[in-house]
Amino acid sequence: MEPYFFLSYARRRGPRVLVKRFYDDLCAELRRLRKGNPMPSDRPFLDVQSIQVGQDWNAALGDALGNCRTMVALYTNDYFRSDFCGREWKAFEDRQRSHREVAGVDAKALIPVLWEPVQSIPPGAAHIQYDNLAFGENYAQSGLRRILAADPGGGEYRRIVNLLARQILVSAEHFRIPAVSGLDLTAPESAGPFPSAADRAEPGSHALLLVAARTSASAHKWPKDPGCHGESPTDWNPYHAESAEPVARRASQLLEERGFTVRTEVVSDVLGATLDEARGQGQVAVLLVEAQAAADEPFGRALRAYDRSNHPGSAAVVPCGQDEAGDGPQSKAYWEAVRGVFPFNWSKGAGDPLPLLQSGIGSDQFDGALHAVVVKVQNHLFSFQETLKLSSLESDQITSTSLPVLSTVAVPPDQTKPAPPTPARPASDPILLEQEQDR
């Protein structure tokens, strides 16, 4: 197998319509440039199309990366947070480096595509030039994904695809980087240059996911229930229109990719004690909260107590579906429910997202929001533990290693139901072709 190019991208959950469309358009443009002649190697590699049901996916990826002529990397924030994308990057970059050492020339066979704007490029990928003035200002500011979504058959998109196909054609036809057999992307030595050490959990790190959500049995009393519940709160899936994966499972997989060992529980009346125990064991804790679940006990009671208390090492994420994030009646009910269960944090933030309370999180924002709060939670937890150690050294009265009881902050009577501020919600992404998440 010798794919003409290998498409490397962050595999988010949900449909990948735009990624597949770009892949098909790039293949078609390469055939056109070759004047209809078949490519002198196997069909370009896209995992969801090239790996067959029942096939060993790790072996298939290893074969494709070890023999492909070029690699096209779709740059996104999630791409540089993905351990597996880092492994794909390293596998191909090692082959390209070997060619440079032997031939004395750079094949430029690793071709970056700015799929979405990125906050920063990790040091391990910074040496690859990805800015391209020929692609235009719109590409540099918004990325190719938005250009494709706004006008799939437009001249700007077609021109960029043509330029990318020409880059692939030159590298694939004029250079043959050394092939590598037996690549195992899961091996420890195959770890790539991203995510960075600062973003990747230390080995042995533990995370606790706590879910507060209704079940299909308890959700029936709400009108127009979207059908995103199951037998257990952990089956809750606010993004069911885009993915069949429960949000707790999605969060668990994202954290495991960063090196965490993850445990999932359901919020109960002993939430405070559970969080204290997790903090004492050095675990980060993330609450996944369905806003409307606050009306059900014991969720409402436990979450309101959490809102009034100081729990270092924990954060709350309140996902929402598309209807809840819009401007209709479901959106109004959603934000009222958020204010009802988190009145203290809401009044502190005046409606703006707080670092440790992220609400209004749609499917396309969830991965990034979870990543951000976990980093914050880790920093808070480490800071708390260091402060505790210093206090223990300075005070002769502390003879035990037990953690202090955290005080509860009372909510002023006139703030229990604050005036509903207009919540700051991210601007909508004008996706015309799909409601999509990549990996």
Q: Which fold has domain 206-396+407-414?
A: Rossmann fold (3.40.50)
Superfamily of domain 6-190: Toll/interleukin-1 receptor homology (TIR) domain (3.40.50.10140)
| Number of neighbouring beta carbons within 10 Å of residue 128 | 16
What pLDDT does residue 419 have?
Answer: 42
Q: What is the pLDDT of residues 17-44, one digit of tens each?
A: 899 999 999 999 998 998 866 665 557 8
Q: What is the pLDDT of residues 110-138, one digit of tens each?
A: 999 999 998 888 888 888 888 888 999 99
Domain assignments of the chain as residue spans, ordered by start: 6-190, 206-396+407-414
Local confidence band at 351 (pLDDT 50, 70, 90 cut-offs):
very low
Local confidence band at 354 (pLDDT 50, 70, 90 cut-offs):
low
What pLDDT does residue 12 have?
Answer: 64
What pLDDT does residue 36 have?
Answer: 65
What pLDDT does residue 10 have?
Answer: 85
Q: Which residue has the tokens 């209809």?
A: 36
Q: What is the pLDDT of residues 162-209, one digit of tens each?
A: 999 999 999 998 888 999 998 888 888 888 888 765 566 554 478 999
What pLDDT does residue 149 have?
Answer: 93
CA distances 32 to 14, 25, 113, Å, are: 31, 10, 21
Is the pLDDT reported for residue 159 higher than 60? yes
What pLDDT does residue 219 have?
Answer: 74
The 10 Å CB-count burial string (b at 16+, else e) for 246-262 is: bbbbbbbebbebbbbeb
Q: Which of 280-294, 316-330, 360-374, 400-414 has the weakest average pLDDT? A: 400-414
What pLDDT does residue 410 have?
Answer: 38
Q: What is the pLDDT of residues 410-434, one digit of tens each?
A: 334 444 334 444 444 443 343 344 4
Task: Provide the total of helices (H) and of strands (E) in the chain, helices listed first.
Answer: 13, 8
What pLDDT does residue 398 have?
Answer: 40
Is the pLDDT reported for residue 59 higher than 90? no
Q: What average pLDDT does range 343-371 have in this prediction? A: 76
SS3 424: coil
Q: Where are the beta strands (DSSP E) in 273-431?
A: 284-289, 314-319, 357-361
The H or E element containing residue 111 is: strand 110-114
Is the pLDDT reported for residue 315 higher than 70? yes
Report the distance separating Cα 279 and Cα 283, nearest Å: 5
Q: What average pLDDT does range 224-247 have in this prediction? A: 84
Q: How many residues does the chain have?
A: 439
Task: Please list, in sequence order, all residues whose beta carbon lies within 8 angstroms of the beta carbon of residue 100, skipping any fewer than 6 positions away.
Answer: 106, 107
Q: What average pLDDT does range 72-101 have in this prediction? A: 90
Is the pLDDT reported for residue 284 higher than 50? yes
Q: What is the pLDDT of residues 359-407, one digit of tens each?
A: 888 888 898 888 888 887 877 776 665 555 555 545 544 444 443 333 3
Same fold, 6-190 and 206-396+407-414: yes
Q: What average pLDDT does range 278-304 have in this prediction? A: 87
CA distances 414 to 140, 220, 239, 351, 429, Å, are: 48, 33, 36, 17, 37
Q: In which order are the strands placed within the sheet that holds 110-114?
A: 6-8, 71-75, 110-114
What pLDDT does residue 290 have?
Answer: 93
pTM, two decimal places: 0.55
Give backbone dihedrals phi and psi of 73, rounded to 5 degrees, phi first.
Answer: -105, 120
